[in-house]
Amino acid sequence: MSLISPACRDALQHWLDSLSALAGRSENTQAAYRGDVTEFLSFMTLHHNERQGLAPLARITVSDMRAWMADQRGAGVGARSLARKLSAVKSFYRWLSEREGFEPTAVLSTRAPKFTKKLPRPLAEDAARAMIDTVELQSTNDWISARDVAVVTLLYGCGLRISEALSLTGRDAPLPDSLRILGKGDKERIVPVIPAARTAVERYLQLCPHPQSRDKALFRGVRGGALNPRAIQGVMAKARMQLGLPATATPHALRHSFATHLLSAGGDLRAIQELLGHASLSTTQAYTAVDTARLMEVYNRAHPKA
């Protein structure tokens, strides 16, 4: 941070502290934001050939923003990464302008580069079932096999994020007919629990050697602590290699598979949006991957005028 003035350094730290306190951003997110904004401030220091105090920051122009973005692209930064960096800079400027009382239009009006949002490809229905069956074979320890099957079944059967499945605690067992899930942005949703998921979790609980507690993680690691998501990522990586599936067959791809297979079977897009916990219907549309022929088949069967 040697290129950044003490005033800017203090402002950056206060902003990060506010993110932690008010928005609950993770340490990894804060570290990424710190790096992105630090790079931006350092560029502006070199670009103007002077250390950027708070006053010069208030005078940054559209031309300055274009110069920074051109520098980033010239350094090989991709469109997706640049969009993320710009988002961090805008967030910092929005906070700083309110605090210092200046007009941040030049920064906030800067358009992010367009890019195609890549999402994990959903598995075919038979591949999803095969994944669950093959995950069970990855450990010689019965309780670990049962645990992994239970987690993967929740991802595919209920559309949970892996973080949501691993945030379940002993008070959630035995699983009810529906779960109250707190997702991204503290958005709460109700998720129905299919019988297969309840059965898988019950089998895991019967075999798990670690005593359950209402306040402790439902899914445990080998030593009894909360299960690390890397364990599920690893067991799925082994299973997909055995099945000949692509590297996109990840835990998160099972959530996409859940949505896609529901839509393919004639599920209502709005209902699927609620099940996934998406704020925007467009996000749900991007999440699903149903071929046009299948959509037309559902349309012709379900539309009252068909």
- What tens digit of pLDDT does each residue of 114-146 get? 766 666 688 888 999 999 999 999 999 999 999
Residues 6+ apart with CB under 8 A from 122: 253, 256, 257, 259, 260, 261, 288, 289
Nearest-angstrom CA–CA distance, 128 and 122: 9
Q: What is the pLDDT of residue 122?
A: 84
> Residue 254: what pLDDT?
92
Indicate the class that CATH gives domain 6-108.
Answer: mainly alpha
Q: Check whether 229 has a pLDDT greater than 90.
A: yes
Q: Which of 85, 147, 255, 261 is catalytic?
A: 255
Quickly name the fold that domain 131-302 has.
Answer: hpI Integrase; Chain A (1.10.443)
Predicted confidence (pLDDT) at residue 294 exceeds the cutoff of 70: no
Kindly report which listed range (74-88, 257-271, 290-304) carries the lowest average pLDDT score. Answer: 290-304
Catalytic residue among 161, 240, 256, 261: 161
Confidence (pTM): 0.62
Cβ atoms of 115 and 81 within 8 Å: the answer is no
Q: What would the mean pLDDT of 28-50 be, rounded to a whole number?
A: 86
Quick one: which H or E segment has residue 290? none
- At 156, the amino acid letter reads Y
Whether 184 is a known active-site residue: answer: yes
Check pLDDT > 90 for residue 58.
Answer: no
Q: Alpha-carbon distance 232 to 250, whole Å?
A: 9
Percentage of the chain lying above the pLDDT 90 cut: 47
Q: Where are the alpha helices (DSSP H) in the chain?
A: 6-18, 27-48, 54-57, 62-74, 79-100, 105-108, 125-135, 142-158, 162-166, 195-207, 229-243, 251-264, 269-276, 281-287, 292-302
Every domain of the chain and the residues it spans: 6-108, 131-302
Instruction: Please report the pLDDT score of residue 1 as a whole number.
Output: 43
Catalytic residue status for 252: yes
Known active-site residue 161: yes
| Alpha-carbon span 28 to 12, nearest angstrom | 16
Same fold, 6-108 and 131-302: no
* 204 tagged catalytic: no
Tell me which residue has tokens 């095969």: 130
Decide if pLDDT at 163 tops 80: yes
Choose, from 33, 93, 156, 287, the residue flagged as catalytic: 287
